[in-house]
Structures are given as structure tokens and as C-alpha cells.
Structure 1
């Protein structure tokens, strides 16, 4: 059975990447207990000081979609939106075939 993955870049307004990353790390903590969450990784881009990347692995797209209902997630999204330099770009949807930690 394949898994569902997302990989996306969020660009903060100048000087707000650390604030954005902190919000996303809090989101990571909240969704880490959601059904089907295998990975929610937040990364800073070494070549773009305003970019924050999120990489997610889920058992299914449905599990990912349900994670948006986890208590506190919508509030974090509303905190993050004003820090973005524009609308979030649609991330890459991935079909995860396997790897360490992916069962």
C-alpha cells in the first residue's frame, strides 16, 4: 500500500521566517498524534532566508485532510497566514513508495 505525501514551500514576509517556522513546528506537535501521520517535518531553506518547507507523510490523503480538524490547527493557520508574502503555493502531492520509518 502506498502512502500520501506533501512537500511545500511557504515564503514569509521579510524577517518573519523564524516566526512562521515556530508556528509550523507547533502544528507539527499537534498533528503528530493524528491518525495516519508518519512525518511532519519543518525545514528552513539555506538559500532563501524567507522560505520554510514542510514535508509530510501520511497513511492516506483522507488522514491528512482529517488532520486539519485537530484542535488548534485552524488557529495556527490563521496565525501563519499574515506572515506569508503571498498566497501559499500548491505543494507537491507525492505517492510515497517506502523508506525508513514508512510502513
Structure 2
């Protein structure tokens, strides 16, 4: 069943675009690991927040992706620019009007 991870990442003031650049860097390993969609967004009304919406083939595929060297490197690069505050929701997708 498809797994969704939708969240927010609070960043240090002035570092939103830096974190967006790191998170949106092309990474074909994610698709190979089971990532169906990985969207990074911003809202100018929340200048110190990055939004991420991910769809995965399974929760396990998402969890396993955290062991990829490219993912570990991206996390390490972004970490000094984060405040540590994160929010969001994780859930199994029950259905979609876009798929059978």
C-alpha cells in the first residue's frame, strides 16, 4: 500500500532556499528505493518553513531510504540550517481518484 509522509521543516532564518536546494537536488536513487513522488515547497507567509510531500511504495521503502548514502549526506548538509522543529503526518494512502 502506498505510504505518504507530509511534513514541515523549520529552518534557521535566511536558510530556507539553501535547504530547498539540498532537498530538491536530483537523486535517482530515491526512485530506485521506491519513492513515487518527492515534492519540496515554500510559502512566503512562512519564510522559515520548508514543506515536503512524499509518496512511497511502502513505509519500509521510506525507512530504508534513510540508509542511502546520498540521503545521509543531504541530511548532514542541511542539519546545521534546521531549528529541530518538524511537524507533519505519516499515513497509508487509502485511495485516490487518480488511480484505479
TM-score class normalised by the smaller sequence: 0.7 to 0.9
Q: Is the 8 A contact 1:34 1:67 kept in 2?
A: no
Q: Secondary structure at the match of 2:27?
A: helix
How far did residue 29 of structure 1 move? 2.5
Q: Partner residue of 1:97? A: 94
RMSD of Structure 2 on Structure 1 (CA): 1.9
Please, which runs of 5 or more residues in structure 2 have no aligned partner? Answer: none
Q: Secondary structure at the match of 1:15?
A: coil
- Hey, which of these two has a bigger chunk of strand by percent? 2
Residue 63 (structure 2) aligned to one of 57, 62, 65:
65
Q: Secondary structure at the match of 1:32?
A: helix
Q: Partner residue of 1:48? A: 46
Please, which runs of 5 or more residues in structure 1 have no aligned partner? Answer: none
How far did residue 18 of structure 1 move? 0.1
- TM-score (normalised: structure 1): 0.83
Between the aligned partners of 1:39 and 1:83, the Cα distance in structure 2 is 24
Q: Is the 8 A contact 2:9 2:82 kept in 1?
A: yes
| Runs of 4+ with >3 A deviation | none
Q: Secondary structure at the match of 2:63?
A: helix
Query: Which region of structure 1 is more displaced relative to structure 2, 68-77 or 57-66?
Result: 68-77
**Number of corresponding residues:** 99
